[in-house]
Amino acid sequence: MKIRSFFGKPGFYLQKAFPRFCAYCYLTVQKSVQHPYIKRYIRNFSAEKGPKLPLCVSFETINKCNGTCAFCPANTAFDKRERTVMPPEIFDKAIDDLKNAGFNANLVMCINNEPLLDPLLTERLEKARRALPDAKIQIYTNGSLLTPEKLDEFRGLVDKIIINNYTEEYALNKNIRKLVEKVNDEPEQFSGTQIIVEIRYRNAVLSNRGGLSPNKKAVRQQKYPCVMPFSDIAIYSDGSVGICSCDFSGVLTLGNVKESNVIELFNGEKYARMRESVIKTGRPDCGICEVCDFVGRSNTRLKAIKRKIRGERPYFG
């Protein structure tokens, strides 16, 4: 188990003291570091013949969160979505589509939600693990509902769990501290799963998430190319398919798993139009994209892009 934080304790308190300045620096540095790789990845992607596979498929199997992060539209004070749990047949259909296409990259159980609120999560993971043995299955969670027993349940099903310890002071939340103690006491019990605890400032200012972040508003049009239409599929609890976790309001919906094959959608006309728009203007042709300052990839996810460029299996770092 690793415990980490962006630039450690000083980074945490800098974010707290100068949230907007830190967000500006972070996005500026990310852009300059990532730009060459993203441009190259998009170029290679466009030159590739035949049907393509995404680097990452994310599922929102329940559209609710119990978190209070100031930057996130899914926080309990902001989110007005009606609670929906993804029906098992929708999840199974999406997984079958991925299996039939030979998907073997990153499968993430989280978009704008807390995945452990989903009562069917373990069954879904079992299904995904059986169908996609080579995919890297990952859960992003705020850790509030994660117990040692739950971790045990996920054993053999999940490759990586990222526990975002959102907090206002640089410390582990009580239940996460207990979890860390448990894993450190019995490391062999949890050895099959990479577990990472990220200490994150709950009121941070990050990207504006297509102008939908509660604590950062829309910006003028960015020219920086957004990689999401070339790399990602997001599947929401009602089966609708979009391209990006910033799309909290579902305006980038390109189809529905119930009627369409997930990989055919990724290779279909609507995705192609978004990509053409990125190549021409830097951003997909959509209102939220025009005002979005999202860089597109975390460092962990950038590793998948680098691996893909090198011709390796494009797992996240």
Residues forming the site for ligand SF4 (CB under 6 A):
65, 67, 69, 72, 74-75, 112-114, 142, 166, 210, 226, 228, 243-244, 246-247, 283-284, 288-289, 292, 294, 296
Residue 19 or 210: which CB sits closer to ligand SF4? 210
For the bound state, the minimum distance from the C-beta of residue 253 to ligand SF4, rounded and expressed in Å, comes to: 12
81 touches 114 (CB < 8 A): no
Closest to ligand SF4 by CB, 73 vs 314, is: 73
Smallest separation, CB 124 to ligand SF4 (Å): 18
Cβ proximity to ligand SF4, 99 vs 273, nearer residue: 273
**Geometric angle at alpha carbon 225, from 272 and 166, rounded to 5°:** 110
Closest CB to ligand SF4 among 72 and 183?
A: 72
Of residues 26 and 132, the one with the C-beta less far from ligand SF4: 26
The closest of 246, 150, 149 to 139, measured between CA atoms, is 150
Residue closer to ligand SF4 by CB (options 218, 309) is: 218
User: Position 138: which residue type?
Assistant: Q
Closer to ligand SF4 by Cβ: residue 72 or 132: 72
Phi, psi of 19 (to 5 degrees): -60, -40
**CB 295, CB 307: distance < 8 Å:** no
Closest CA to 77 of 68, 88, 85, 86: 68
Number of neighbouring beta carbons within 10 Å of residue 27:
18
Reference 110, options 145, 147, 70, 149; nearest CA is 145
The minimum distance between CB 126 and ligand SF4, in angstroms, equals: 24
CB atoms under 10 Å from CB of 143, counted, come to 23
Closest CB 228 distance from ligand SF4, rounded Å:
4
Alpha helices in 163-205, H assignment, sequence order: 174-185
- Minimum CB separation from ligand SF4 for residue 279, in Å? 13
Nearest CB to ligand SF4, comparing residues 22 and 292: 292
- Assign residue 182 a region: left if phi > 0, alpha if psi is -120 to 50, beta otherwise? alpha
Shortest Å, Cβ 198 to ligand SF4: 11
Residues 6+ apart with CB under 8 A from 111: 58, 59, 60, 234, 236, 245
The least CB distance from residue 96 to ligand SF4, in Å, is: 26
At its nearest, how many Å lie between ligand SF4 and the CB of residue 76?
Answer: 7
Cβ atoms of 15 and 204 within 8 Å: the answer is yes
